[in-house]
Amino acid sequence: MVERSRPQDWTPEWWCPAVPGGFVQVADEAKEELVHLVHQELEDRQIACNSHGYSTASGDLVRDWVPTSIGGEEHARLIGAFREKNRVTFEVLGTGEPNNDQIDFWYQVINAALQRLGTREEYVWHAVISEDPPHLGMLGKRLEAQAHISGLDLKPYHGPVVEDVRSSMLGFGAVPSMFIHWPVQVSGRTTCYDWLSEGEWRTTLWLSRITALLSLWWDSPWSARIGPRIGIEPDQEKDYIFGHRWRPYKVPEPEETLGQRVSVPVGLNHAEALLTKERRLFEAISIHKEGLSLQREHPSLALVSFIAAIEAVAQIDRRAEKCPGCECGKFKGCGLTIGSSDRFKKAVRSVLSESETSSIEDYYGGAGRSGTVHRGKLHGIDAHALHSGAMSYLTENTSLRFSIVTVSTVRKASRLLLLQKLSMLKDPEASQD
């Protein structure tokens, strides 16, 4: 019998295999789909059913299906165990005398679900992505023209919008300011067995790859504003998309003179395909995007993010070494990663000038990243509530220099290394296309 450990006020008086042999062959990656299809079969039969997933004491993954009632009487329950590789064990459990009709009912449900396994449906979805406030500037980037790339349609979403952002001004301290930017509508198609169970999260991951790549190429943070949604055009939810934060911006001058015009890079197809295969590369570009989002108000954490991206790329090119112990073999290695600083410096030197490299090398250790990660030290304007810090003709403003120069230089190294890795780099000095 399948082990049952979830607390409940019900004890079966009989149980038997739900299918011949007691189990069905199902690939591990299709087990979630099978669970969904069992639910779907019950729904199609208009059977109300409670279902719970849990782990047993032995570590098995179990799910039960408990019909509330069928024909006014208690119905036998189904339980499935999913731990075994490429197979699922099903049993029927009940009270009173075994009921062959109820046993056959569950066999029919499971068999019908297996028949539908592998069936796919295409869903058309829409989303709106937008630029988050970058570390400098109050005007965002404007997609020049509609583009179809990597299976997606991207087009400007109406005109510019404006939102309030926090800033600081000498003599006034913290002040509200505004950021003007141009949202982009993204539309695509996803093939899956069910939108809520599979399609939505897969599409969200797809959208994450696209926004991470656009953030890298356009050198500013972009993220999903709304969606992905199926069956609803963004225009139908315009008020919801705008919410209370966005307002349409009434352009006082020709719109063509506002914002920085950008286009979707031709290499996005190749780069996006590469990210689907290389998990570590996707993680590196994702943490770089986090750094872009953080730099405006949290430069110390942005530095940590950019250095993490550099380290990730460096470890793809050169595998991280582990402590081997002493040469005589008397002491075994501790297993700690060694040579991280050397890998970081070598990676940075490959894309930056000598002067740029020397200006940031010290920020890998205790003076920068390590100080923030291990001791909570803040180095920039984040230590002064976004204020630029003490202004003096006699001493250098280190916090302002850190926030504007140091973090931007590390960001540049991270960006160039990632563009190289993605084969998207054209002009090493260009920050835009």
φ/ψ of residue 108, rounded to 5? -65, -40
> Of 52-56, 211-215, 345-349, 383-387, which gets the smallest average pLDDT?
383-387
Encode burial over 62-71: b for 16+ CB neighbours within 10 A, e otherwise: bbbbbbeebe
What pLDDT shows up at residue 372?
A: 79
Helix axes 299-317, 407-421, angle to 10 degrees: 30
Is it the case that residue 35 has pLDDT exceeding 90? yes
Helix axes 279-294, 299-317, angle to 10 degrees: 160
List C-alpha distances in Å: 285 to 179, 195, 224, 291, 407.
Answer: 25, 27, 16, 10, 17
What pLDDT shows up at residue 141?
A: 93
* Rounded (10°) CA dihedral 14, 19, 25, 26: -80
pTM: 0.84
Beta strands 184-192 and 141-143 are unpaired
Sign of CA dihedral 141, 145, 146, 152: negative
Is it the case that residue 245 has pLDDT exceeding 50? yes
Highest average pLDDT, of 19-23, 57-61, 358-362, comes from 19-23
Is it the case that residue 324 has pLDDT exceeding 70? no
φ/ψ of residue 242, rounded to 5? -70, -35
Q: Class for domain 14-116, per CATH?
A: alpha beta
Q: Higher confidence at residue 379 or residue 186?
A: 186
**What residue ranges do the domains of the chain occupy?**
14-116, 121-266, 285-421
> Can you tell me the mean pLDDT for 198-215?
96
What are the contacts of 42-51 at 24+ separation with CB within 8 A? Answer: 42/67, 42/109, 45/109
> Can you tell me the mean pLDDT for 327-341?
60
Query: Could you tell me what percent of the chain has a pLDDT over 90?
Result: 47
Rounded Cα–Cα distance for residues 116 and 23 (Å): 17
